[in-house]
């Protein structure tokens, strides 16, 4: 019988939070929690949020889903698409401004196909915003992130992993592990 070491979720996430703060300790930091779907990126982002807060850092959450709309006149069963202008205008740009500038962490309910009432959120000058979503390294979004975590449950997207700051294997959701893929 082979014993396999599996790190505790909290240890993996604390180490990741510590690395991000070490690299980007001042100012507003945008962190993408990216996946190709089904790997548990949103749950991992929620848990990472708690790791930042446990360490005494101001951290906030948003999801790309909160900025996706169906094209005008599209049926309700059609897939929503990101309203990139809205995403940048009410979340990314205000968050980056710092100070007392407020941002909205969710603007659209794609299921109901309507705008949502969201409270404006403010935070300190030094803060982290974790945004989960699918394919956050795509054209138009790739340059927004200070740090990008690729969450995977398999090895199917080597190209996406190559553009990530960190890769987290989340195939065992209670024991996610950081992967260090050597390109040499």
Lowest mean pLDDT among 41-45, 74-78, 100-104, 158-162: 158-162
Domains, the chain: 9-177 (3.40.50.300)
DSSP alpha helices (H): ranges in 89-153?
A: 93-97
Compute the distance between CA of residue 126 and CA of residue 59 in angstroms, rounded to an integer: 9
Instruction: Give the pLDDT mean for 109-133.
Output: 90
pLDDT of residue 184: 41
pLDDT of residue 159: 67
Give Cβ neighbours of residue 1 (< 8 Å, ≥ 6 apart). none
Instruction: Give the pLDDT mean for 115-124.
Output: 90
- DSSP tag of 88: I
- DSSP tag of 73: T
Residue 32 has pLDDT above 60, yes or no: yes
* Unique residue bearing structure tokens 């109901």: 112
pLDDT band with cut points at 50, 70 and 90 for residue 72: confident
Instruction: Give the pLDDT mean for 128-137.
Output: 95
pLDDT band with cut points at 50, 70 and 90 for residue 5: low
Q: State residue 27 phi and psi, 5-degree precision.
A: 85, -170
Determine the angle formed by the axes of helices 41-54 and 9-23, rounding to 10 degrees.
70
pLDDT band with cut points at 50, 70 and 90 for residue 182: low
């Amino acid at each position: 019988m082979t014993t396999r070491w599996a790190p505790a979720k909290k240890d993996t996430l604390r180490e990741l939070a510590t690395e991000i703060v070490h690299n980007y300790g001042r100012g507003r930091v945008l962190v993408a929690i990216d996946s190709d779907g089904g790997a548990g990126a949103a749950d991992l982002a929620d848990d990472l949020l708690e790791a930042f807060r446990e360490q005494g850092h101001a951290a906030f959450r948003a999801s790309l889903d909160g900025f996706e709309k169906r094209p005008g006149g599209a049926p309700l069963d059609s897939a929503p698409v990101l309203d990139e202008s809205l995403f940048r205008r009410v979340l990314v740009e205000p968050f980056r401004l710092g100070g007392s500038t407020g941002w909205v962490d969710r603007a659209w309910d794609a299921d109901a196909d309507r705008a949502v009432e969201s409270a404006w959120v403010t935070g300190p000058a030094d803060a982290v915003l974790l945004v989960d979503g699918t394919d956050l390294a795509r054209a138009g979004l790739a340059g927004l992130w200070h740090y990008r975590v690729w969450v995977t449950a398999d090895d199917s997207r080597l190209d996406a992993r190559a553009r990530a700051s960190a890769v987290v294997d989340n195939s065992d959701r209670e024991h996610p592990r950081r992967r260090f893929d050597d390109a040499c």
